[in-house]
Structure 1
Amino acid sequence: MTDIDPKALTDRYVAVWNEPDAALRRAAVHGLWTEHAVHVLLPPQDIRETATGLGFPSAAFEARGHTELEFRVTRAHEEFIAPGTFAFRSRHDADRIRDVVKFRWEMVSPEGERAGAGLEVLLLDPDGRIRADYQFIESTA
């Protein structure tokens, strides 16, 4: 396994979600995730409860491969970042065991007020690229 600094990886990861330039965002997606990587999102509790009530026992959402990952990152950017409403930032608590990196992040207003937070668990390939990305939304405020 390549010697990966978890804090540097976290900085690159968070930066891609904040990146305003589509070409740079695309390049960052290709640089961070493997070609067949999967991003699995466990949505906030209220969405999970609604899904369960509709008969869906698992409310996890999934994006697979560079095309879907780029779309996922772009949509999050368009909804939360581009309007100037929020920015994503790391909580600077990244840690690594072998090929697993975990860290917490926040979505904050321009004034620094937290509007959301989550836990990210990344499984890396031997080159240090993300092969699986598990995102747990911990709160929306």
Structure 2
Amino acid sequence: MNAHTDLIDRYFDAWNETDGARRRELIAATWAADADYRDPLLAGAGHDGIDAMIRAVHERFPHHTFRRTTEVDGFANRLRFSWELTTPAGEAIVKGSDFGVVDAHGRLQAVTGFLDQVPAAA
């Protein structure tokens, strides 16, 4: 286990938290106040933007769960890991890889996500 694993596990806890107050606590403990998240479909800036982005994913994919599928690889203040979004039945419907930058306080400053597998258009 490396120094970034706990941070990324908390990152997934925030993504999976459906209680708004608890999710905002997790975001504050995980992300820098001026943090930025970007992937081909989503973007969120600051704690409020990240919370709104996660809330929108919960609305679009109710009862789905994100989980880390690789170890967290990192050096200095850089890290990477892969993940999947699973249905309530456990089927992975989206897979991706994220790259992050950690600030001096051990919080995520920036995350850039890449989608490795997405559902075919209906």
**TM-score (normalised: structure 2):** 0.88
Q: Which runs of 5 or more structure 2 residues have no equivalent in the other structure?
A: none
| RMSD (Å), alpha carbons | 1.5
- From 93, 100, 112, the counterpart of 1:134: 112
Q: Does 2:52 align with 1:71?
A: yes
Q: Please list, as runs of the form range in 1=range in 2, the aligned pairs for 1:97-112 lying within 5 A after superposition.
A: 97-112=75-90
More helix by share: 1
Shift of 1:74: 1.2
Q: 1:87 to 1:62 in 2, by over 3 A?
A: closer
Shift of 1:77: 1.9
How many residue pairs get aligned? The number is: 118
The one-letter code sitting in structure 2 at the alignment partner of 1:104 is: S
Q: Which has more radius of gyration?
A: 1
**TM-score (normalised: structure 1):** 0.77
Larger RCO (alpha carbons 8 Å, 6+ apart): 1
Please identify runs of 4+ aligned residues in structure 1 that moved more than 4 A: none
1:114 corresponds in structure 2 to 92
Q: 2:3 and 2:19 mapped to 1: Cα distance?
A: 25
What's the CA shift string for 1:84-110, capped at 9, x where partnerless? Answer: 2x2111103211110011100001122
